Structure 1
């Protein structure tokens, strides 16, 4: 695995880039620079930190600079200024021999148009990088065979690229990149030439392989759905400048500007966001050992009709106020025998799954983490808000009005949240 640090990268295309570097640093407009100097601003002051073992997506429209940036990582393009550090080593300082070794052993690249040799068989294409490294014929053929199996191309070893579909050719390209055992994969629009169904299959393949291999992957795309599905973090470029960087959730929930927002118009948010995003942190919880009188007092003070009960950090169930009052009348020492089962969803459940649960039941729904740890109550109004597209002008759809912004409302407001177990309520 490897960590990549991109520090203040500038790229100016033209015969005298150094002459115009200060202008670029001062913020000269791209069109103004072109008119004034005949030079093109490719990248302006890009800084990124790419964690080892992650899939880092760089996206933007055509001409945004994303492919220019990824080609700096292995110095297919030289920067006008800045540093690219891989595990602390500045790639810009490498001499010719060291750079060749770095490209052969540290980074592999998967291209949009496959980049296969038409005169070589599939297995020869996969073994090519190993041949360049000087590996013996039998050993490289064995390793190539292994990776062809991993990408589902067993039996196609002796075919030629033109005999394969586009999706199969891209699998060959992926196998070739993986065969060299490089720590970093650079994938430049690797799936964009494929049909939608094949593209989805290749995304699945990449995620399955990444779960096993834990490579550092830099993935270029212009498709936000693809970015949200694959990326641990996403950087969005526009006109050679970094507009926003963050997790998929950061991008979805807080787009930096109208340019980023324009990418989000057709995104199915319910497939990206999960129950944790629609969870209200608990303002009141009880334990199995809580005294009934104490439980009644605390629920009455907050005007709650029910509250979650914990066994340690785990969700034990739900206690209604009527059950707590009954426990007081019975003279019970604690509430344990009065706790009822409560439905729950894991924090990782997608909002599409949560919506389905909401439609099937009006019961309260808890959100749990690892080992059934209680995280909070599902806020139904938050679910509506999160899956409702933002309308131009700033406000969400009227369906999200009446937001239960106070955490207490997750258990207190029957008109925006589920009724307690065993009770049916109708809004006034």
Structure 2
């Protein structure tokens, strides 16, 4: 059984709330979500029957303030279409998208422009930098469109250029920078307007592995420093597990499972998710909350303490070095204990959530 949720997301109003979202491409697309018979068809059968493709099918989720929410899936799963629907770069067919209490689908073009300039920004796989502008001018471009004065936008651009580690490259042109540095410019440009939410659409998938890892670490660092709410699209499970507070897995336009990394690994919703996470080292993802056992009358309770959300890998040496079971304690309450048997079962690949 999976342990109880503990992220506290229910305590705060979501920044983004999505309900029953559909995006159907094709003739008379709006009839698909409204017809139960059509809703139940596979992608191939729906195309044969109607000429339509349902890229996003009845997806619902919330994103909490300050959360890194990852949407992942293979090519064709609908993840990129989904994030474009959230910002109405693609118009949804039906469903509800509420951003900070405002119905995005009801926004007119003027209001939508305001939201894109002030409230949310997107970082794409293709950087879209202006080749004739230097780094500082690329970063400040959104502020220029917004009407911000030159002195203020230069000050802000310089600030975020330093934040993303590009100090010294302010006057370089994009073609003088590596791919990773160009993506840092794109990230700085998105941050310059101080948006409430950052949307990332597979921003690092074209980068070399080492540069990609550096950029992932950069996103983590920036999240810790500026605390922005982030919605991150990827096809890479290791990237999703590294970055995401929660992960939504999509397949053929549908939501398969949504949860924390340890929930996906410890309690996969079906065989598809189980296969997805099969090669993930369990000790790197599962926490003590997943492997602890109830206290028995014969157990000695004078061992060391650790919190329930410590990852198994990080607790292994402490547990194996102790001559007593390790106590799992949260806010002064004893939740359970973990001994050599529980740790070794996970390290061997047999324990935790099976």
TM-score, normalised relative to structure 2: 0.89
Question: Partner of 1:297 in structure 2?
Answer: none
Name the SS for the 1:18 alignment partner: helix
In structure 2, the residue matched to 1:240 is 253
Q: Give, in angstroms, the shift of residue 246 of structure 1.
A: 1.2
Cα deviation for residue 178 of structure 1 reads: 0.6
C-alpha distance 356-27 of structure 1, shift in aligned 2 (>3 A): same
1:421 corresponds in structure 2 to none
| 317, 323, 348: which one aligns with 1:363 | 323
* CA–CA distance in structure 2, aligned partners of residues 384 and 205 of structure 1: 33
Q: CA–CA distance in 2 between the matches of 1:48 and 1:75?
A: 17
Over 3 Å counting, the alpha-carbon distance change for 1:264 and 1:118 in structure 2 is same
8 A Cα contact 1:110 1:186, kept in partner: yes
**Superposition pairs of residues 112-123 of structure 1, within 5 angstroms:** 112-123=125-136
2:55 match: secondary structure = strand
Deviation at 1:77, TM superposition (A): 0.5
Question: What does residue range 19-418 of structure 1 map to in structure 2 within 5 Å?
Answer: 19-23=31-35, 26-283=39-296, 302=297, 304=298, 307-308=300-301, 318=302, 342-358=303-319, 361=321, 363-369=323-329, 374-389=334-349, 396=350
| Alpha-carbon distance between aligned partners in 1 of 2:119 and 2:69, rounded to the nearest angstrom | 17
Alpha-carbon RMSD across the aligned residues, in angstroms, is 2.3
Q: Relative to structure 1, is the Cα distance of residues 264 and 114 closer, same or farther in structure 2, using a 3 angstrom cutoff? A: same
User: What SS does the aligned partner of 2:341 have?
Assistant: helix
Write out aligned runs for 1:8-23 (5 A). Answer: 8-23=20-35
Contact 1:2 1:216 in 2 (8 A): no
Distance 2:238 2:101 in 1: 32
Judge which range, 89-98 or 29-38, deviates more. 29-38
Give distance in 2, aligned partners of 1:373 and 1:62: 45
Q: Which has the higher contact order (CA 8 A, sep 6+)?
A: 2
Match of residue 419 from structure 1: none
CA distance in 2, matches of 1:207, 1:369: 27
Q: Give the distance between the partners of 1:349 and 1:2, measured in 2 at CA.
A: 26
How many Å apart are 1:213 and its aligned residue?
1.9
Q: Name the CA shift for 1:51/1:371 in 2 (closer, same or farther; >3 Å).
A: closer
Contiguous gaps of at least 5 residues in structure 2: 1-12
Larger radius of gyration: 1
Report deviation, 1:195. 2.1
* Distance in structure 2 (CA, Å) of the matches to 1:370 and 1:138: 50
197-206 vs 177-186, greater mean Cα deviation = 197-206
Using the alignment, how far apart are the partners of 2:151 and 2:128 within structure 1? Answer: 24
3-state secondary structure, aligned to 1:203:
helix
Asked if 1 retains the 8 angstrom alpha-carbon contact of 2:328 and 2:338, the reply is no
8 Å contact kept, 2:75–2:235: yes
Q: Structure 1: which 5+ residue stretches go unaligned? A: 284-301, 309-317, 319-341, 390-395, 406-428
TM-score w.r.t. structure 1 length? 0.74
